[in-house]
């Protein structure tokens, strides 16, 4: 069986040298799925880049694999991160893979159950913080300074560098850059990394343009869409429940340079987009992941993107990460006695 992963596949585009261990759980090569129904409705050639098929179920693996490889190369004693869930799941998995201890700081009660289960089963030391993500990140940075641990949040440049690979895969598959990319924004690392990936590919002569980068936040946690910090972020999309994005400045620059913008959508719109993706396209993504599609559903008709454009929505995490939110909105199953007549009756 061939399992390449990001580090082997994109060796020449990444800061890899002979001393960098080629860590891999088989990240990347995620499917680019045409969204026919939604695309027709919106008048776009629309695709989903479904990051839920990464080894731990989110896009974080693309950058985590490089961050962990570089931590090993530098002789780090361990890893630390703050997380709304996915970063911690990814860090815990790659730490386990590499034999490094890992500490993760999570905002208490605000992490989806699948993500928490992942961090725990991979053997990370999991600390629940009575505070939000922004506070947990400050603690993680302080702990890393005191204990000499490698921080694997998106303040780590290798995280963002590895995450550029999502852009490279899009261009490799489409044969060109899309006209626009829409994606959810929390700490604003991924939108910065995606933009940098397209720019790097253009410089290398592998793409002739950079798409408009359109970042979508939840209305209750929309510091970049509103242009001011959000001291008490709140949203059903817990992955992007962030009020002070550490990569905010870089992301604002990237979005401006690309001709894109930041948008905000409501929690109802996010959950509506999640249901539409699941029911009309067969694609199950976690709530935060669906913010980009929610942004298109609300703004595409208002001149956001010219009709007929090729647009990729990055679906950042697998729907199974947060089964509780999905089940709460999807209704209950029919329950019957085990008799065929009753079944026929129930289904009629």
Other CB atoms within 10 A of residue 133 CB: 32
Pairing of strands 45-50, 125-129: unpaired
Task: Point out which span in 31-39, 77-85, 116-124, 322-330 binds ligand F0G (CB under 6 A).
Answer: 77-85
Comparing CA positions, the residue from 81, 95, 76 lying closest to residue 246 is 81
DSSP string, 26-67: ------EEE-HHHHHHHTSEEEEEEGGGSTTSBTHHHHHHHH
Helix (H, G, I), strand (E, B) or coil at 82: strand
Number of residues forming the site for ligand F0G (CB under 6 A): 21
Nearer to ligand F0G, 126 or 185 (CB): 185
Task: Point out which span in 3-11, 83-91, 171-179, 340-348 binds ligand F0G (CB under 6 A).
Answer: 83-91
Task: Give backbone dihedrals phi and psi of 203, rounded to 5 degrees, phi first.
Answer: -60, -35
CB 29, CB 173: distance < 8 Å: no
Nearer to ligand F0G, 113 or 206 (CB): 113
Q: Is 66 in the site for ligand F0G (CB under 6 A)?
A: no
Task: Point out which span in 9-17, 65-73, 82-90, 267-275 binds ligand F0G (CB under 6 A).
Answer: 82-90
CB 183, CB 58: distance < 8 Å: no
Nearer to ligand F0G, 178 or 317 (CB): 317
| Residue 182-221 contact track with ligand F0G, rule CB under 6 A, x = bound | --xxxxxxx-------------------------------
Q: Which of 225, 286, 293, 304 binds ligand F0G (CB under 6 A)?
A: 286
Nearer to ligand F0G, 45 or 60 (CB): 60
Q: Which of 76, 239, 277, 311 binds ligand F0G (CB under 6 A)?
A: 239
Residues 100-129 that bind ligand F0G (CB under 6 A): none
3-state SS of the chain: helix, strand, coil percent to 5? 50, 15, 35
Nearer to ligand F0G, 11 or 256 (CB): 256
Task: Point out which span in 258-266, 274-282, 285-293, 336-344 binds ligand F0G (CB under 6 A).
Answer: 285-293
Residue 268, judged by CB atoms within 10 A of its CB (0-12, 13-18, 19+), counts as exposed
Q: Is 235 in the site for ligand F0G (CB under 6 A)?
A: no
Query: In sequence order, which residues have a C-beta less than 8 Å from that of residue 184 and are 6 or more positions away?
Result: 215, 216, 217, 237, 239, 240, 288, 289, 290, 291, 292, 314, 316
- How far is residue 202's CA from residue 173's CA, in Å, rounded to a whole number? 15
Task: Point out which span in 81-89, 117-125, 199-207, 256-264 binds ligand F0G (CB under 6 A).
Answer: 81-89
Helix (H, G, I), strand (E, B) or coil at 116: helix
Comparing CA positions, the residue from 336, 341, 192 lying closest to residue 258 is 192
Comparing CA positions, the residue from 50, 267, 74, 67 lying closest to residue 151 is 67
Residues 295-324 that bind ligand F0G (CB under 6 A): 316-317
Task: Point out which span in 94-102, 198-206, 284-292, 336-344 binds ligand F0G (CB under 6 A).
Answer: 284-292
Minimum distance from CB of 307 to ligand F0G (Å)?
Answer: 27
Nearer to ligand F0G, 159 or 276 (CB): 159
Nearer to ligand F0G, 20 or 192 (CB): 192
Comparing CA positions, the residue from 13, 114, 109 lying closest to residue 57 is 114
Q: Is 238 in the site for ligand F0G (CB under 6 A)?
A: no
Residues that bind ligand F0G (CB under 6 A): 58, 83-87, 154, 184-190, 239-240, 286, 288-289, 316-317
């Amino acid at each position: 069986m061939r399992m390449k992963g990001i580090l082997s596949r994109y060796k020449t585009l990444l800061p890899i040298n002979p001393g960098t261990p080629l860590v891999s759980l088989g990240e990347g090569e995620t499917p680019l799925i045409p969204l026919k129904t939604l695309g027709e409705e919106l008048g776009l050639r629309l695709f989903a880049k479904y990051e839920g098929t990464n080894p731990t179920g989110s896009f974080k693996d693309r950058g985590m694999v490089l961050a962990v490889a570089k931590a090993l190369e530098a002789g780090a004693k361990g890893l630390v991160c703050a997380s709304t869930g996915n970063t911690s799941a990814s860090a815990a998995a790659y730490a386990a893979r590499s034999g490094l201890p890992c500490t993760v700081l999570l905002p208490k009660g605000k992490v989806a159950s699948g993500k928490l289960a992942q961090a725990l089963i991979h053997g990370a030391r999991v600390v629940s913080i009575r505070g939000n993500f922004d506070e947990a990140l400050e603690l993680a940075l302080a702990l890393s300074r005191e204990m000499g641990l490698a921080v694997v949040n998106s303040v780590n440049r290798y995280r963002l560098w590895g995450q550029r690979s999502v852009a490279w895969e899009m261009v490799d598959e489409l044969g060109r850059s899309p006209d626009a990319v829409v994606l959810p924004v929390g700490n604003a690392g991924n939108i910065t990394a995606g933009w940098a990936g397209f720019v790097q590919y253009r410089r290398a002569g592998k793409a002739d343009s950079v798409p408009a980068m359109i970042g979508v936040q939840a209305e209750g946690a929309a510091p970049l869409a509103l242009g001011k910090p959000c001291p008490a972020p709140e949203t059903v999309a817990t992955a992007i429940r962030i009020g002070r994005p550490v990569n905010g400045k870089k992301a604002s620059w990237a979005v401006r340079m690309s001709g894109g913008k930041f948008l905000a959508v409501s929690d109802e719109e996010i959950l509506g987009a999640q249901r539409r993706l699941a029911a009309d396209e067969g694609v199950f993504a976690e709530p935060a992941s669906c913010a980009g599609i929610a942004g298109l559903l609300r703004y595409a008709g208002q001149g956001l993107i010219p009709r007929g454009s090729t647009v990729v929505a990055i679906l950042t995490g697998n729907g199974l990460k947060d089964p509780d939110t999905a089940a709460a909105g999807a209704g209950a199953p029919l329950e019957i006695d085990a008799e065929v007549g009753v079944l026929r009756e129930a289904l009629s």
